[in-house]
Structure 1
Amino acid sequence: MPHTHTNTHSLTDPLMDKVANKCAENGARLTPKRSKLLACLLKSNHALSAYEIIDLFKQQNDENISAMSAYRILEFLEEQQLVHKLQLANKYIACKHIACDHSHETSQFLICIKCSKVREVSIDKAVVEAISHNVTDAGFTLASRQLEVNCVCDKCTQL
């Protein structure tokens, strides 16, 4: 059954259809609100807090969404591997591999501490294994392979 979207998302319909199909394959459903919230993140190249997403959602869709609903939707989108939660910044960003059908390396997020711009890059498997080995040697268990690095982007460096 095709997923319908409002005209405000017409530029991302093919992508949203692919995302809806990916969710369906996982036994989940991409509802219109989930789709609209994801579209907000897709339109931003900056990490956004839940409350920034709520404000953007209202701006782009001329409708309100409660904080509880936004957090539930963000949790769903994380479970579906469509968004990443950046722990250092306590913000969210759409996965850059959202439309891919194949698996990817571990993600590293470069986060500008001045403007919140985020760049997702892949980390070589050997680097992740070395980090994991160091964690184990130190008497810890790796809770997440996602790495986040606070940086300053080129644009902010020039200011």
Structure 2
Amino acid sequence: MSIEGLIERIQVNCKQRGKQLTEKRKLVLHALLRAEKAMSAYEIVDYCQQELAQTVQAMSVYRALEFLEAEHLVHKLKVSNKFIVCSHIECDHEHGIPQFLICTKCNKISEQTVDPTMVSGLQTNARQEGFTVVQPQLEINCVCDECLKHDE
């Protein structure tokens, strides 16, 4: 499906749920879809300016990202403070808790879904230590196979 077709479908889905995919929200989503990588809000501002010939203020990008994250269209990578399109964006159902495998050399990212039993185990262990898990998203630093080959 094309980026425009996907955004159109997302806009219809949002409207059916009483939400609005505004022009700025569409622009931010379009930038993330087109870039195909995780980006910070300021990188999105720059990308929109350089690649899409659109000027957008950082505060507008942050507000758009907040909406897109709440709608499960993008994920915020907590460690790097960057945002990436959900790999399940074309699906209409919830996919559970995300786990991100992040190459520390080239920044390639793969989104996986965490096994629910693993999450409940983490939550139980946290409770035993006097903690409550509030966001079970996992981000694991790795080295991808391509980078590993270059190091040999």
The TM-score, its normalising length taken from structure 2, stands at 0.90
Matched, 1:40 2:2: no
CA distance in 2: counterparts of 1:90 and 1:148, whole angstroms: 12
CA distance in 2: counterparts of 1:50 and 1:102, whole angstroms: 27
Residue from 83, 100, 105 that aligns with 1:114: 105
RMSD: 1.6
Matched, 1:150 2:141: yes
Deviation (angstroms), 1:110:
0.8
Matched, 1:73 2:90: no
Residue from 51, 59, 63 that aligns with 2:54: 63
Q: In the alignment, residue 43 of structure 1 is paired with which amino acid?
A: R
CA distance in 1: counterparts of 2:63 and 2:44, whole angstroms: 13
Deviation (angstroms), 1:81:
1.0
- 1:76-155 alignment runs, 5 A limit: 76-155=67-146
Measured against aligned partners, the alpha-carbon deviations of 1:93-128 in whole angstroms (never above 9, x if no partner) come to 001111211221321011122222211011111111
Matched, 1:11 2:2: yes
Deviation (angstroms), 1:57:
1.2
Per the alignment, residue 15 of structure 2 pairs with: 24
The TM-score, its normalising length taken from structure 1, stands at 0.87
Measured against aligned partners, the alpha-carbon deviations of 1:36-81 in whole angstroms (never above 9, x if no partner) come to 2101111233211111111111123212111111111111111111
CA distance in 1: counterparts of 2:96 and 2:61, whole angstroms: 28
CA distance in 2: counterparts of 1:85 and 1:76, whole angstroms: 12
State, as a whole percentage, how many aligned pairs show the same letter: 45
CA distance in 2: counterparts of 1:44 and 1:156, whole angstroms: 20
* 5+ long unaligned stretches in structure 1: 1-9
CA distance in 1: counterparts of 2:45 and 2:147, whole angstroms: 26
Measured against aligned partners, the alpha-carbon deviations of 1:11-53 in whole angstroms (never above 9, x if no partner) come to 3222112211222233211112211210111123321111111
CA distance in 1: counterparts of 2:107 and 2:126, whole angstroms: 28
Q: Is the Cα contact below 8 Å between 2:3 and 2:34 reproduced in 1?
A: no
* 5+ long unaligned stretches in structure 2: none
Q: Is the Cα contact below 8 Å between 2:101 and 2:139 reproduced in 1?
A: yes
Point out the more displaced range, 30-39 or 17-26: 17-26
